[in-house]
Structure 1
Amino acid sequence: MSNTQTARPLLDVRGLRHRFGTVTALDDVTFDIADNEFFALLGPSGCGKTTLLRAIAGFEQPEHGEILLDGADLASMPPHRRPVNMMFQSYALFPHLSVEKNVAYGLEAERRSRSEIQTRVGEALEVVGLATMAKRKPAQLSGGQRQRVALARAIIKRPRLLLLDEPLSALDRKVRAEMQLELKRMQREVGMTFVVVTHDQEEAMSMADRIAVLNAGRVEQLDTPVGLYSTPRTRFVADFIGTSNLFDGTADAAGIEVPGLGHFPGEHAVPAGRPASAVLRPEDMILGDPGTGRWTCTVIDTVFLGGGSTVSLAVDGHATPVTSVLHAATGLRPGDRVGVGWKSDRCVIVPGEVSSAVPQREAAVPAGISG
């Protein structure tokens, strides 16, 4: 008999339910977060992720369920007593105070000694790379630098758990990409558990160890970034994470039958005769000469993105264009005919129960592009 025991999670969320009038914000939400983990709550606007974050912080009181931190129930603990800090989307810096005074504010409110405050402020500013800007005011900083000040102020009190609500949404695309890497570095350096709320799948995928994808108040799937992308369990996750080619049909023992397009083989657990969807990522589509592959299609458009080309294709019998991603520039032009197939082991089949409302999100070219 093994003596190995599973470590208790730092945060354990059990069966949370919460409503605002007739709107269900959280619907039986259950998950746990390990110590020193970078965890993301990802989903479209209105899915419940910010309500969930506020419940952990103590700003919302769920109607049902438990939130345990280190095994202790947080329900009766007011926000200011919880070993949790929250960094808001707006940063909320004091414009009349210097960087170091903004960072020191929480410790000064606790009446810590001057020497302790000075030491910890210096350490926090070193971590966020602003040690040389301690005397500046927020108005003298860039958006990315102000974000770092807010982060230093949040980590200086050494909470067990740091909650970040859309922390990068105010930054432009280039600075946001840089800060994604910086946040991950800082999280490892300070040895703290981060929970970030975002609607940006690229942001979550680049930073988090694990991601909970929320939809209409429920956790659709909790997995690693690789797991979410390569093996989505629902049609919503397949469509929300990255770019997918989706084909709707009816499950059978060996795959699904799609009207007008034929049979898509693949392993699955959907009962025969039930609605199901085949998921094929753009990099798994194979283009060749007309007459090769599964179909012969017409090129609608091509876009060169530096590291590769995205090709949009019209498939007879399928209302939605199919997307393929190639490694380099392509000579294909609109109107060209090409043969289209896919890597046989890359077809993922998921249940077909999902509403017709598909969330809008910024398209991203998935990693691991292949021809």
Structure 2
Amino acid sequence: MTTGPAPVPGPQPLLALRGLSHSYGSVQALHGIDLDIADNEFFALLGPSGCGKSTLLRSIAGFETPAEGEILLDGGPLTRLPAHRRPVNMMFQSYALFPHLSVEKNVAYGLEAEGTGKAEVRRRVGEVLETIGLTKFAKRRPSQLSGGQRQRVALARAIVKHPRLLLLDEPLSALDRKVRAEMQLELKRLQHEAGMTFVVVTHDQEEAMSMADRVAVLNGGRLEQVDTPVGLYSAPASRFVADFIGSANLLDGTAVAGGILLESGLVLAADHGLSAGSAATAVIRPEDVVLTAPGAGILDGTVLDTYFLGGTSTVAVRVSGVPAPFICTLRSVHVPQRGSEVGLIVDAARTVAVADDRGAGPLEAAAQETVSS
């Protein structure tokens, strides 16, 4: 499990979290979080419900005060500063637009509340509405807009004040799938154009992987791994990350020299630094599997079902000794029929071995015998 701060470009991160811990009564929400986020970075906090990501975001915003640890912005302490005095803006899941105000009045609200001059307010509101493509909707009220347009207004209101850091709490969850996909690209574009740091909380792995420069995966209030989307997918640091990020075939066994010993006695080749005899899991992505004739691969199985998904087909195969169906992704419309016997060839160079953090594996004794022999 990766709990230390991940390296970021430059000598000093924009945002640094050091030893952040927080509890709600007897429930520990955060466990000593260390994290660095760079200037102009699009960063995602990703994890299942209850993992601590929203508590972490609210602590950065100033709505929660962590029991332990420090929050630093540009090297300066932020932890005890009240929310309204932090150079941080937060865009809420509900958008929280004023229904009786027009689009331009909603965007201008924060500037006017700070006493910004009328000419400056008009200039900055005009600029940001042009950036998000809503200039012609300036006089409309939120009820006259689509869900995607309301999301843009909320974003405009957040960035018009030029915060050093923008926090987004599940910003796309209220949108339907098609609009959500469009807004993922839009958020990334706006982040680049605004030239500021975005930190987004989401439980949607596709959302995090498509938008973020780096992603922190949380589980039970702890950091499992911090990496780029490609790094998380191709080199997961734990069984949890491998299972949570993308689709993966997880084959549990025991670490031996050169691979993972399965219950069947087969050793799946994989490079690893795990202790011999320790519980381990081989992570095989669906696209790293090729179907062949029975007996010609390292595993044999029976086709359970096939799914055509445009340019690719997904094939589910029942493999003896493997609890879940083995999933293969083929770039072909010609796939074996249900009930067919097939062999599976696995790309050993792309197979990742991680510790099975659910507990010691049942094959430890067998593995020790393999090692000693």
TM range (shorter): over 0.9
Q: Report Cα offsets for 1:227-263 as digits up to 9, x if no partner.
A: 0000001000000000000011111121111102510
Quote the sequence identity (%): 64
1:103 and 1:201 map into 2 onto residues whose CA distance is 30
Question: 1:301 maps to what in 2?
Answer: 305
Cα distance, 1:204 vs structure 2 = 0.2
Cα distance, 1:6 vs structure 2 = 4.2
Question: 1:86 maps to what in 2?
Answer: 90
Q: SS state of the match for residue 304, structure 1?
A: strand
Q: SS state of the match for residue 20, structure 2?
A: strand
Cα distance, 1:188 vs structure 2 = 0.2
Q: Does 1:40 pair with 2:25?
A: no
Question: 1:364 maps to what in 2?
Answer: none
Q: Report Cα offsets for 1:91-122 as digits up to 9, x if no partner.
A: 00001100000000000101111100000000
What 5-or-longer segments of structure 1 have no aligned partner? 357-371
Cα distance, 1:344 vs structure 2 = 1.8
The count of residues paired between Structure 1 and Structure 2 equals 352
Cα distance, 1:355 vs structure 2 = 7.4
Alignment of 1:1-371 (within 5 A): 6-260=10-264, 262-354=266-358
Q: SS state of the match for residue 139, structure 2?
A: coil
1:221 and 1:257 map into 2 onto residues whose CA distance is 25
1:110 maps to a residue whose letter is: E
1:6 and 1:121 map into 2 onto residues whose CA distance is 32
- TM-score of the aligned structures, taking structure 1 as reference length: 0.93
1:252 maps to a residue whose letter is: V
Question: Aligned in 2, Cα 1:67/1:87: closer, same or farther, shift over 3 Å?
Answer: same
Q: SS state of the match for residue 264, structure 2?
A: coil
2:211 and 2:279 map into 1 onto residues whose CA distance is 34
Cα distance, 1:7 vs structure 2 = 1.9
Cα distance, 1:203 vs structure 2 = 0.1
The answer on whether the counterparts of 1:16 and 1:65 sit within 8 Å (CA) in structure 2 is: yes
Cα distance, 1:339 vs structure 2 = 1.2
The answer on whether the counterparts of 2:261 and 2:268 sit within 8 Å (CA) in structure 1 is: yes
- TM-score of the aligned structures, taking structure 2 as reference length: 0.93
2:125 and 2:23 map into 1 onto residues whose CA distance is 40
1:342 and 1:67 map into 2 onto residues whose CA distance is 45
What 5-or-longer segments of structure 2 have no aligned partner? 1-8, 361-373
Q: How much is the aligned-residue C-alpha RMSD, in angstroms?
A: 1.2
